[in-house]
Amino acid sequence: MTFDKLGLHESVLRAVAEAGYTVPTPIQGAAIPVVLSGVDVIGIAQTGTGKTAAFTLPLLTRLAKGKAERGAVRALILAPTRELVVQIEQNVRAYSRHLPLAVAIVYGGVGERSQISALRAGCDLLVATPGRLLDLASQGHGDFRDCEVLVLDEADRMLDMGFLPSIRRIVRGLPKDRQTLMFSATLSKEIEQLTSEFQKSPKLVEVGRRSNPAELVEQTLYECPHNLKQAMLTHLLAQPGWDTVLVFSRTKHGADRICRKLAAAGVESMAIHANRSQSQRQRALESFKSGQVRVLVATDIASRGIDVDGITHVVNFDFPDQLEDYVHRIGRTGRAGATGKAVTFITSEDRGDLRRLERMVGKALPPLQRPEGFNFEEATRQAFSQKSEDTAPRQRHMRGPGHGRREAEQKARPPERKPGQWHGGRPQGGGSSGGGGGGFLARRSAGRGRS
Ligand code: AMP
């Protein structure tokens, strides 16, 4: 199949050819004609399948016919994160480069002024996160009365992030007579509920619906006690072929810590998470995309919308909080036909979750291995001495009057045992390589809400 058989506008076809696409991906082949027919569509497609073009190409074909009036919005795409908004905008701008269409973006975390002027001027296509859009719309910005098309991208994630009330309020301001396209990685009961609320007799376009991770991704599971994760990551990053690596951390602080420790090991990296300003996140993403920095450390939420071609490896430094995120994470490599590799560090506490993940994807993942050339004993010794170095300055910072004596006493006494800390050169819980320690368990149950 070729793109020119799908009924797209010739200017869109030109842009698609210039983007280097020759063959529509399965979701594009299936969705484009249906979207062009004007009906509502539920698209079930994983990230990395080309779903953005699947809805933007027919959308631009439809919009090519008219022009936005001052202050009006003709089509609205809602997406869960700023990164995804920017990503969609970049796609839209590329595909609409031969069309005189006005495209605007609205998302939180940055000044409102330029967004308000874009809405005042009117736009053919607006890409927005629900929260900020609702803020601006409630202040009277943007006229949505003639909005012809609504797209809810990554609808499942927007539900997870609690955007439903905002989306409901936004949809209330749109005409009833509109085309509504909804894209989601999975078709859950909640998504079905959403379609009955927002769509009319939607057609289901389901491509590669699977909880199974992208087939093109080679998955490896490494047995790794919590305190050796950093050493293992550094070891892997020194292997040939580890050129563009996306590392997933469960928490924002964890992501920063990974970056700091990589820097100490002489590996440059950048972090992307919700505590970073929009410009910092954008800079990190750009540096990663351009190859200036080969390691990007991300949290799950911030990673949505990271669309970087040629990611060679995804590392699940921490096991994902939500099992579905495993699929999203590893889908960041092996995009659009490329092959990729995903590596997951498995601590002893992760094993239950691993079983659950295997049940979800419907098959056994490869057995746990140890990375070639990684010396567990040496790494364990170093982690222990590192830990002692790490704790020493903190004790000094915390001291008050009379600290000198206390410090002398501490030196004289054997170190106090805390749960989860190493003692006597052996991890608590024993085991040859396992035994991440009780402290990890405590942190984990506080942070994850499940274990
Ligand atoms: P998406 O699933 O929309 O995030 O797209 C994943 C990646 O596939 C992006 O980098 C797109 O630029 C790329 N892509 C989309 N459609 C095609 C196509 N027909 N041929 C080759 N690459 C594509």
Domains assigned to the chain: 3-206 (3.40.50.300), 217-389 (3.40.50.300)
Ligand 1 interacting residues, C-beta cut-off 6 A? 21, 23-25, 28, 47-53, 307, 309, 335-336
Q: Residue 140 pLDDT more than 80?
A: yes
pLDDT in tens, 171-183: 999 999 999 999 9
**Cα–Cα distance, 137 to 166 (Å, whole number):** 11
Question: Which has the higher per-residue pLDDT, 447 or 343?
Answer: 343
pLDDT more than 70, % of the chain: 81
- Order of strands across the sheet with 123-128? 103-106, 123-128, 73-78, 149-152, 179-184, 41-44, 203-206
Q: Which two tokens stand for residue 288?
A: 């990663």
Q: Bridge partners of 423?
A: 426
Q: Residue 149 pLDDT more than 70?
A: yes
Q: How far is the CA of 336 from the centre of ligand 1 (A)?
A: 6
- pLDDT at position 434, please? 33
Question: Which has the higher per-residue pLDDT, 432 or 387?
Answer: 387
Q: Residue 229 pLDDT more than 60?
A: yes
- pLDDT at position 351, please? 92
Question: Are the C-beta atoms of 185 and 45 separated by less than 8 Å?
Answer: yes
Q: Indicate the average pLDDT of the chain.
A: 82
Question: Which has the higher per-residue pLDDT, 40 or 160?
Answer: 40
Q: How far is the CA of 48 from the centre of ligand 1 (A)?
A: 6
Question: Are the C-beta atoms of 365 and 323 separated by less than 8 Å?
Answer: no
Name the CA dihedral angle for 92, 94, 96, 102, rounded to a multiple of 10 degrees: 60
Among residues 329, 277, 323, 325, the alpha carbon closest in space to that of 306 is found at 329
**Cα–Cα distance, 370 to 301 (Å, whole number):** 29
Instruction: Choose the residue to mutate in 85, 86, 183, 307 for probing ligand 1, maximizing ligand atoms within 8 Å of C-beta.
Output: 307
Instruction: Choose the residue to mutate in 12, 16, 25, 217 for probing ligand 1, maximizing ligand atoms within 8 Å of C-beta.
Output: 25
Atom of ligand 1 minimally distant from the CA of 23: 19
Q: Residue 335 pLDDT more than 70?
A: no
Atom of ligand 1 minimally distant from the CA of 51: 3
Question: Are the C-beta atoms of 64 and 102 separated by less than 8 Å?
Answer: no
- What pTM does this model have? 0.58
Q: Residue 421 pLDDT more than 50?
A: no
- pLDDT at position 213, please? 54
Tell me how long the chain is.
451
pLDDT more than 90, % of the chain: 56
Atom of ligand 1 minimally distant from the CA of 48: 2
